[in-house]
Every structure is written in structure tokens, then in C-alpha cells.
């Protein structure tokens, strides 16, 4: 698929068909993440694919958190509902340098690397005819998730929920170039 088409047509998909996403596709999605650039080539990404029981347990953690903190947070239950209907849930973790070695300077570049990897996954899903939502609402229960999966030395950073799309959403609005490009380059002298 043409890169331009993938970038301009990809949209977050929140409604999924029941159809099974084969493991072969999951390997392809993870392979696409493995090719992302990363600070000092640290490749700070690790992946865990939930089974159905784990998916139920994690969404219950999110519902519980949503009930407890409903005065400050409203979207976590919606994300949990979406996660329930997705055929596959890939959890993305990173080695927890922070608590282990106090090497906090790793953190920011590693988070940027993780974002690059997750966007590769997003685009690969689209390329394979799948839909996905990049979810960060799992972060509210990140420590509980790491403990539950016995991945205590890893930090949960994002979740990708995947399935065959059941909707074609409208393009979500984007800011204009005027707002985002902070200087006027039309008058720059090119050498």
C-alpha cells in the first residue's frame, strides 16, 4: 500500500466484528514495531497479547478504577468497553529502568521510541485491513496490570486493541497548518 494512502486513510477504529485475527497477523504487526527507530537503538518495547480471561480481568480493573475515580475520569470505562469487543489486545511494556536503576534520563527518549513503534503497528493494522485503537486509559491501572501478568520489572505504557472494522468513522478534525507551523517559511532564502 502507498504510504500516503495509509497515512491519510488510517483512522482509529472503535467498533469491531467478531471475526478472528490470526496469529500470523499479530506477528506481522509486532515485526513492524521492531523496525521502528529507537533512541540509541535500545528497542525499549516488549509485547504481551492477552487471552480472553486476561482481557476480562484487565477490563474489570479498568471498570473498578472508573467507579472509584468517576469524579475525575470519564473515559476509562468507554475504553474498557471497546477493549472487550476487540478480538485481540496487545499490551505494550517497557523495561522499568526508572525504579530499578534510577536512570531517569532514559525515560523521555524511550517513550518517544515507543510512540514511533506503536504508530508503525497502527499503520500495519490498516495495511492488513484491520482496525485498531491506541489506548492509554490502561495507564491508570498500569501497576496492577504489570503485577497481574507477573511482569513487575516492566512498565505498561500503552495498549493496542485490534479487530476487523465494523465502522468507517469520519476523519477527526485536525488543526490547520497556520496554527501548527510557527514560522513563515515562504520568505526563507534557500541556499
Ligand X SMILES: Cc1cc2nc3c(=O)[nH]c(=O)nc-3n(C[C@H](O)[C@H](O)[C@H](O)COP(=O)(O)O)c2cc1C
Q: Which residues bind ligand X (CB under 6 A)?
A: 11-12, 79, 82, 133-137, 172
Under 8 Å between Cβ of 107 and 97: yes
- Closest distance to ligand X from the beta carbon of 135 (Å): 4
Q: How far is the CB of 184 from ligand X (least distance, A)?
A: 27
Least separation in angstroms between CB 16 and ligand X: 13
The CA distance from 98 to 128, in Å, is 35
> Nearest approach, Cβ of 96 to ligand X (angstroms)?
19
Which lies closer to ligand X via its Cβ, residue 42 or residue 77?
A: 77
C-alpha cell at 151: 511482569
Distance in angstroms (rounded) separating the CA atoms of residues 47 and 109: 19
- Coil/strand/helix, residue 99: helix
Angular region, 43: left φ>0, alpha ψ -120 to 50, beta rest = left
| Cell numbers representing residue 51 in the block | 487471552
Q: Which is nearer to ligand X, 30 or 125 (CB)?
A: 125
CB of 111 to ligand X, least distance (A): 10
CB nearer to ligand X: pick between 46 and 77: 77
Q: Which of 30, 62 has the CB closer to ligand X? A: 62
Cα separation, 134 vs 13, in Å, equals 9
**Would you say 53 or 172 has its CB closer to ligand X?**
172
Q: Which three cell numbers stand for residue 168?
A: 468507517
| Separation CA 32–CA 162 (nearest Å) | 15
Cell 475525575 maps to which residue? 72
Amino acid at each position: 500500500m502507498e504510504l500516503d494512502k495509509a497515512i491519510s486513510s488510517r483512522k482509529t477504529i472503535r467498533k469491531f466484528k467478531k471475526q478472528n485475527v490470526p496469529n500470523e497477523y499479530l506477528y506481522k504487526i509486532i515485526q513492524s514495531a521492531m523496525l521502528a527507530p529507537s533512541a540509541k537503538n535500545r528497542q525499549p518495547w516488549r509485547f504481551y497479547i492477552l487471552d480472553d480471561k486476561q482481557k476480562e480481568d484487565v477490563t474489570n480493573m479498568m471498570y473498578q478504577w472508573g467507579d472509584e475515580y468517576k469524579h475525575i475520569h470519564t473515559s476509562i470505562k468507554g475504553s474498557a468497553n471497546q477493549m472487550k469487543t476487540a478480538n485481540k489486545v496487545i499490551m505494550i511494556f517497557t523495561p522499568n529502568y526508572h525504579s530499578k536503576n534510577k536512570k531517569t534520563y532514559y525515560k523521555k527518549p524511550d517513550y518517544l521510541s515507543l510512540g514511533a513503534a506503536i504508530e508503525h503497528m497502527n499503520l500495519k493494522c490498516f495495511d492488513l485491513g484491520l482496525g485498531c485503537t491506541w489506548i492509554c486509559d490502561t495507564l491508570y491501572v498500569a501497576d496492577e496490570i504489570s503485577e497481574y501478568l507477573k511482569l513487575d520489572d516492566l512498565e505498561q505504557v500503552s495498549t493496542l486493541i485490534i479487530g476487523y472494522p465494523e465502522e468507517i468513522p469520519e476523519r477527526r478534525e485536525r488543526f490547520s497548518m497556520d496554527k501548527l507551523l510557527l514560522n513563515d517559511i515562504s520568505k526563507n532564502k534557500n541556499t
